[in-house]
Amino acid sequence: MLILTTMIGFAVLVMGRQIFWIFVAGLGFALGIIYGGQFYSGQPEWVIILIGTVAGVLGALLAYNLQRLAGVFAGFATGWYLTNLFFDYTGFQLGQYNYLIPIIVGVICSISMIVFFNWSAILLSSFAGAAIITLGMNFTNQTEMIMLIAFAFLGSAIQAIWFIQEDKQA
């Protein structure tokens, strides 16, 4: 499964804005794998992959047919997941507010997808792709966080260059 998540993560990392449905499908797949694995622990790996695949296909259909709504969903899901990932990596705890902060960040990311679609899609898909790539890695939390930031920076730079070149050609 590591090879599959890494390939999907790189696709989202590099092409998340250019091929938007890949961003939403990859995010759906990853969240399906993560939470399917939590809710159905002990099940064969193919069941978890099936859950992720169904979530990814639903995300792709949503993104293909309703791009703005998919952007709001992807913004919220990315902000929410990355905040939880940050809490996991750092051990940062806010007690009863541990559930509230990811929701607030998710809402802010959703709003950013509405207001600044292209640049938000670049940043959020880069971070989502980086998170998907590091999903199956078994390094220390600090190492994974550094890798996530490095991959996200790389993906953002690649996508920004492509976006600026597209803008100049138009």
Could you read off the pLDDT of 116-154 as tens digits, one per residue? 999 999 999 999 999 999 987 888 889 999 999 999 999
CA atoms within 13 Å, Cβ hemisphere of 21: 9
Amino acid identity at 156: S
| Proportion of the chain above pLDDT 70, given as a percent | 99
Number of domains present in the structure of the chain? 1
Rounded to two decimals, the pTM is 0.90
Q: What is the CA radius of gyration of the chain?
A: 15
What residue numbers bound the domain in which 120 lies?
2-169
What pLDDT, on a 0 to 100 scale, did the predictor assign at position 105? Answer: 96
| Proportion of the chain above pLDDT 90, given as a percent | 62
